[in-house]
């Protein structure tokens, strides 16, 4: 890829899932990138509309949004969308404005909107993706295995990797759900007679319970991402993956590998978009629900991130 002296800003709030999408796309495009974590003061942040000048409405803890302006700005989520348009308004002849997900306002003002198919968003500047963008690449997986693969050397095959989500804006994961999930983890180990490699996320509640319950179980590895994060290595060594049903991001990262992916339902989780996405993947024979059996199958892995990066580079004449 030819190097460019152009600059990219990625802007999100504090949610890692959104940050992963903008940074993943920026890395695939290949520009020098600065990530900015920004929020608007009340009531503008609550309204999530481009009223006034969003650049003057930042909370005290936000990163500054001041000149020199970037050549490319990528935002994700409706609360960050006004920042991208505000920057483009300050620098209309130079800044290319990309937004990920449905901004819910003024669609034509963005140069490009990237929205998953289950959003059913249409427009001349809208590009639909199968799922969420992410920052997983083959190179990162290979580097992860080289750096952290030795963590699993004493565990027997097959490797069953479990990706756990948890609490969201619309779902407060109770302890009983985590306890049921722990039983599924032990069931997977016993069925396969192999190992279970488990990684929680920052959203996983009761991580102390998870640790205390699993730390003495044989052939169970629990990642402590606050010390060492072997996430890419786990994707690389996995023979089979299991993903909780609360995160389109995690599911897309798992399906990037092309390895069998089973869905672990979280009791009470009712995110309609996530459920609909999973239903489409099940119908397309990409993933399967975990129902007490561990199977193997093949499917065509998908990588929307690279596809969108090519389109942005072309639109910007990079």
301 pLDDT more than 80: yes
Q: For residue 297, name the pLDDT band (cuts at 50, 70, 90).
A: very high
103 pLDDT more than 70: yes
Residue ranges covered by each domain of the chain: 7-131+305-315, 138-289
122 pLDDT more than 70: yes
165, two tokens:
């989500």
Average pLDDT (81-104) is 96
Q: CA distances (Å), 128 to each of 78, 117, 118, 131, in order?
A: 17, 5, 9, 9
Distance CA 275, CA 62 (A): 33
2 pLDDT more than 70: no
Classify domain 7-131+305-315 by CATH number.
3.40.50
* Phi then psi dihedrals of residue 68, to 5 deg: -70, 140
> Which letter, b or e, does each residue of 81-94 get, where b requires 16 or more Cβ atoms within 10 Å of its Cβ?
bbbbbbbbeebeee
Average pLDDT (60-71) is 97
Q: For residue 3, name the pLDDT band (cuts at 50, 70, 90).
A: low
Q: Which residue has the higher pLDDT, 227 or 125?
A: 125
270 pLDDT more than 80: no
Amino acid 49: pLDDT: 80
Distance CA 296, CA 307 (A): 28
45 pLDDT more than 90: no
Name the pairing type of β-strands 126-129 and 112-116: parallel
73 by Cβ neighbours in 10 Å (0-12 / 13-18 / 19+) ranks as buried
To the nearest whole percent, how much of the chain has pLDDT over 70? 99
CA 117 to chain centre: 16
Evaluate the omega torsion of the peptide bond into residue 68 and state whether it is cis, within 30 degrees of 0: yes
Average pLDDT (269-291) is 90
Average pLDDT (15-22) is 92
Average pLDDT (195-199) is 98
Average pLDDT (250-276) is 91
Average pLDDT (183-196) is 98
Q: For residue 77, name the pLDDT band (cuts at 50, 70, 90).
A: very high
* Lowest pLDDT segment from 158-162, 285-289, 294-298, 302-306: 302-306
Average pLDDT (83-89) is 97
Average pLDDT (79-101) is 96
Average pLDDT (218-242) is 95
To the nearest whole percent, how much of the chain has pLDDT over 90? 84
Distance CA 197, CA 6 (A): 41
Which CATH number among 3.60.20.10, 3.40.50.720, 3.40.50.2000, 3.40.50.150 corresponds to the domain 138-289? 3.40.50.2000
Computed over every residue of the chain, the mean pLDDT equals: 94
């Amino acid at each position: 890829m030819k190097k460019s002296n152009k600059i990219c800003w990625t802007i999100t709030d504090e949610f890692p899932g959104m940050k992963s999408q903008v940074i993943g796309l920026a890395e695939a495009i290949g520009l020098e990138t600065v990530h900015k974590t920004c929020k608007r003061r009340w009531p503008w942040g609550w309204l999530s509309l481009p009223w006034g000048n969003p650049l003057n409405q930042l909370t005290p803890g936000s990163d500054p949004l001041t000149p020199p302006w970037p050549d490319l700005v990528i935002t994700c989520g409706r609360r960050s969308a006004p920042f991208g348009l505000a920057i483009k308004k300050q620098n209309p002849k130079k800044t290319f404005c990309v937004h990920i997900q449905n901004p819910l306002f003024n669609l034509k003002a963005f140069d490009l909107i990237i929205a998953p198919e289950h959003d059913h968003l249409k427009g001349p500047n809208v590009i639909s993706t199968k799922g969420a963008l992410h920052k997983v690449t083959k190179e990162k997986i290979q580097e992860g295995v080289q750096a952290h693969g030795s963590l699993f050397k004493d565990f027997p095959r097959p490797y069953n990797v479990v990706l756990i989500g948890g609490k969201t804006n619309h779902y407060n994961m109770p302890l009983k759900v985590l306890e049921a999930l722990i039983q599924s983890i032990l069931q997977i180990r016993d069925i396969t007679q192999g190992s279970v490699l488990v990684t929680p996320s920052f959203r996983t509640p009761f991580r102390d319970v998870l640790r205390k319950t699993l730390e003495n179980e044989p052939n169970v590895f629990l990642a402590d991402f606050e010390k060492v994060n072997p996430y890419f290595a786990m994707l690389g060594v996995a023979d089979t993956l299991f993903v909780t049903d609360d995160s389109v991001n995690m599911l897309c990262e798992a399906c990037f590998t092309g390895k069998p992916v089973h869905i672990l339902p979280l009791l009470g989780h009712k995110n309609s978009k996530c459920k609909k996405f999973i239903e489409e993947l099940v119908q397309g024979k990409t993933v399967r629900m975990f129902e007490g059996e561990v199977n193997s199958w093949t499917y065509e892995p998908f990588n929307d991130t690279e596809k969108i990066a090519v389109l942005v580079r072309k639109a910007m004449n990079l």
